[in-house]
Amino acid sequence: MTKLIPTTVIRHYKERISKCSLRFLHDRPEMTFHRARPGFRFDATGYTVLAVDAPALSPADAGRPLLLLDSTWRWLPQLAACLDGEPVRRSIPGDVPTAYPRITKVFEDPERGLASVEALYLARRLLGDSDESLLAGYHWKDEFLAAVKAAGS
């Protein structure tokens, strides 16, 4: 059995839970969720925070809890500003494309950006917790896993 990696999710207060790719994970014992309303602060010291523009995550990063910032790409800088302390920023290595259908008319999403549940699955898999049940409620699970396989990740 793999070790469950403690994971904290901070969701932007404007993020709609009905569209959130993590909405099926709220009852998992290793997951903690926070809603970042104005004035919210979080000490991220000692956490690995996933970020697109950071050095690649590797098995050497095991041992720290994960921190996911869950929002639209447009609100991500505002959400990241609520973090205090010294987190370790890491990105998902490789070229796995998102399976989540992106529809945005106002803001351009990063090319390497993944849905939150996709990033969580890949990060935990890389850190030794390969748990497909993280994707159980994800509508685009099959397409995503096919993309993971095609990318050799």
Q: Where are the alpha helices (DSSP H) in 7-134?
A: 76-80, 116-126
Give the pLDDT of residue 111. 54
Residue 119 tokens, joined:
């990033």
The C-alpha atoms of residue 81 and residue 76 are separated, in whole angstroms, by: 9
Q: Is the pLDDT of residue 52 over 80?
A: yes
DSSP 72: -
> Per residue in 56-71, pLDDT tens?
999 999 999 999 998 8
pLDDT tens digits, one per residue of 90-122: 998 877 777 665 555 554 554 556 889 999 999
Higher pLDDT, 43 or 150: 43
- pTM for the model stands at 0.85
pLDDT higher at 93 or 9: 9
CA-to-CA distance for 117 and 68, rounded, in angstroms? 9
Q: What is the CA radius of gyration of the chain?
A: 15
Q: Does the pLDDT at position 140 exceed 90?
A: no
